[in-house]
Amino acid sequence: MMSEDSVLLNENDQLACSCADIVNQDNRLAFATNRYHIEPTHQPWWVNNDMVFVKSYDNNTILFKKNKMSFGDEGYYACHSDVIYYDDIKDVMYNRVRIYVWIKTKKSFFSKVPFQVTNEIVISPDGSHLQIPCVPTSPCYDDVKLFKDSEELKINKTNGIAFDPREGFMITNRNYTYASFNFTCSITMYGRTETKKRSFVTRAPKESYGILFRSHIIIPCVPTSPCFDVKLFEGSQEVTINETNGIKFDPRQGFLITNPSYIHVPIDFTCSVTVESLGRTDTVKYQYTKFNDEDTAILNENDQLVCTCSNSVNQHGNLSFRINLYGIYPGHEPWTNYNDMIFEESYDNKTITLRKNKISFGDEGYYGCHNEYYDKPYSDVARMYIWVKTKKSFFSKIPFQVTNGIVISPSDSHLQVPCVPTSPCYDMKLFKDSEELKINKTNGIAFDPREGFMITNLNYIYAPINFTCSITMYGRTEKVLYHYKRLSEVVIKMVN
């Protein structure tokens, strides 16, 4: 695959890229290679793999050069401006001006880069897809295949498997995202074939609460032996485990519940595991508490906020709170931060508590319970959104602190306008210049009151536009203007 945003080099070829901003010199320029940002000073400097970075004295251009490209240098090379930045929560790089550099080599058919970045199969936080970082070193491959165990998988939309040679395989087929598998990827070039095996083992945490996604619950009841008899109880009543009842069991993951009767109400589950050879049965209780509107709570200004984060089963990982982007790690002694929030940890290491006697404007947002023992995507799934109703402003401060403006995806596929109200009791409208936009799927505009507007309509993405967001509450209306300007003045190109 070759396109206008990619270039093919041989090993030992020279690479030279320039990054320029010919319109606005107030923005600081930098390079981003895959996930690493490089900001050169006026003087040339070198990194450990002989790459040279130079910045012009007029601040309009920076230059990146390497005399001999080698295996491992392949990947994305981006021109980065300080008006395009990285949001850690969404894990999205806002470097839309970028090219992909291929390095043809016979050392390996598999690129090193995605494995350095992810080091494993990636699963999305909502469990909707897997990404297998099977990336060739050259677009001139003869064939790429994917196998589940020994079965070859068809790469097509019907089967829920897509392939991008710069990203790898994207799997949306739920038969593969909710179980443990061995995937094998094969690449054929130059008359020979290389393979790599990637294991996907679901690592659901073992906390004593169910893990809620919007479409399903995972009850992480995982036995230590395959010689088991497993049962699930709702209260004292045994639950039938079959597809008709919307309950599946994988001994390596636990119970997957898609039955809405269990998802949308608070329930106590009990899992029992009987090992006949030992002649005993163990039981564990899992408490699933449904938040208001699934995962939200509403407070008034000056209300008291008290949150607890607990782990009664596995104390291997340190517990902490996440408030929007910020992690908070309390010690055994209570302490207070500058915002009068008090954090304390129990001496048994099972519970931490967050308390603020008077909640105020600016405290709204996501409050998460985090256990460092578990890797993403499970590390931050226990969270809720807290609204703080106030008449000081109808617009939440949080998204402006986090994003500070309109966000565009790396592929130009959507815009996010962070128009977030301070209360869920609102009348919300969006305008393009003076024209009111219809908020519906047909028009490519969706709204989440905790995130803002998500725009996929290409008519609004490829032109400079003024967006105005209005919120009406308590008989009055407030408005905020967002100016979206495509950053086409920032360019990256190969230098002859």
Enumerate the domain spans of the chain. 6-104, 113-200, 211-288, 296-389, 398-484
Q: Which pLDDT value is given to residue 122?
A: 61
For domain 6-104, is the CATH number 2.170.8.10?
Answer: no
Predicted local confidence at residue 326, as pLDDT: 64
pLDDT tens track for 354-381: 778 788 888 888 887 776 655 444 444 5
Topology at the third CATH level for domain 296-389: Immunoglobulin-like (2.60.40)
Question: Token digits for 163?
Answer: 């392939």
Question: Residue 204: what pLDDT?
Answer: 33
State the 10-residue block means of pLDDT for the chain, 496 residues long: 67 82 61 62 53 65 80 78 41 54 81 53 59 81 85 88 86 67 82 75 35 57 74 86 86 78 67 77 65 61 77 60 66 56 65 79 81 51 78 75 53 74 82 87 85 82 77 83 58 54
Give, as one character, the DSSP assignment of residue 422.
Answer: S
Q: Return the pLDDT at 264.
A: 52
- CB-neighbour burial class of residue 224 (10 A; exposed 0-12, middle 13-18, buried 19+): exposed
Q: In this predicted structure, what is the pLDDT of residue 10? A: 85
Q: Which residues pair with 415 in a beta bridge?
A: 408, 455
The answer to whether 6-104 and 296-389 have equal CATH topology is: yes
Asked, as a colleague might, if the bond just before 220 is cis with ω within 30 of 0, I would say: no
Instruction: Let me know how long the chain is.
Output: 496
Of 146, 142, 145, the residue nearest 189 (C-alpha): 142
Q: 211-288, what's its fold?
A: Immunoglobulin-like (2.60.40)
Residues sharing a CB contact under 8 Å with residue 309, sequence separation 6 or more, in sequence order? 319, 320, 321, 351, 352, 353, 354, 369, 370, 382
Nearest-angstrom CA–CA distance, 359 and 463: 41
**Residue 277 has what pLDDT?**
67
**In angstroms, what CA-CA distances link 469 with 88, 181, 386, 421, 483?**
25, 46, 22, 10, 11
pLDDT score recorded for residue 2: 44
User: 113-200: which CATH architecture?
Assistant: Sandwich (2.60)
Select 398-484's CATH number: 3.40.50.2020, 2.60.40.10, 1.20.120.140, 1.10.620.20.
Answer: 2.60.40.10
